[in-house]
Amino acid sequence: MASSSDTSSDTIFGRILRGEIPCQEVYADDLCLAFRDVNPQAPVHVLVIPREPIPQLGEATDEHRALLGHLLLVAAKVARLEGLESWRTVINSGAEAGQTVFHLHLHVIGGRPLAWPPG
């Protein structure tokens, strides 16, 4: 039986991380990869994904504390690299929250006024 980590590594993001599917890379380091969303919801829409396959934020543990902080810092770095002064960082956790790929990812969205609530 596959663990949830095995399942998330088999997602489209797992395939991108393995180089099986190309992406428009914005930033990469040993812990994560940031790339342009193929279905952007704003002029800037970048996804930041950890290299470790965590299915969703709700499954992160205390062991992931440093990684989660790193992902947020990278989201801010990506926003600055994209020339944004204001942006939204979104993490959907679970299907009812709108998560469609079950590999933890952060959306960095900006470049236009963003309404609230978002959905």
Q: Give the N- to C-terminal CA distance of the chain in Å, as an integer.
A: 36
Q: What is the C-alpha separation between 9 and 99, in angstroms, rounded?
A: 16
Catalytic-residue membership of 105:
yes
Per-residue pLDDT for 111 more than 50?
yes
Task: Write the single-letter amino acid at 110.
Answer: G
Domain tally, the chain: 1
CA distances from 96 to 5, 13, 63, 74, 119 (A): 20, 20, 26, 26, 12
75 in any annotated domain: yes
Structural domain including 72 reads: 12-110
Question: Over 60: is that where the pLDDT of 114 sits?
Answer: yes
Q: Which of 45, 64, 70, 105 is catalytic?
A: 105
Query: Is there a domain that residue 91 lies in?
Result: yes
Q: Express each pLDDT in 23-82 by its tens digit.
A: 999 999 999 999 999 999 999 999 999 999 999 999 999 999 999 999 999 999 999 999
- Looking at residue 86, which CATH number applies to its domain? 3.30.428.10
- What confidence score (pLDDT) does residue 5 get? 44
